[in-house]
Amino acid sequence: MGRLFEKGNPGKPKGAVTKSTKLVKEVFADAFTELQKDKTVNLITWGKENPTEFYKIVSRLIPMQVDNIGNTTISIKIE
**Alpha-helix runs per DSSP H in the chain:** 19-35, 43-49, 51-61
pLDDT at residue 6, rounded to an integer: 65
Q: Is the dihedral of CA 69, 60, 24, 41 positive or negative?
A: negative
- Calpha distance 31→52 (Å, rounded): 24
Q: What is the pTM of this model?
A: 0.49
Burial state string for 65-78 with b = 16 or more CB within 10 A and e = fewer than 16: eeeeeeeeeeeeee
Report pLDDT digits (tens) over 58-77.
988 887 766 666 677 767 77
When comparing pLDDT for 55 and 69, which is higher?
55
Percent over 90 (pLDDT), the chain? 33
The confidence band for 12, taking pLDDT boundaries of 50, 70 and 90, is confident
Residue 23: pLDDT over 60:
yes
Rg (CA), the chain: 21
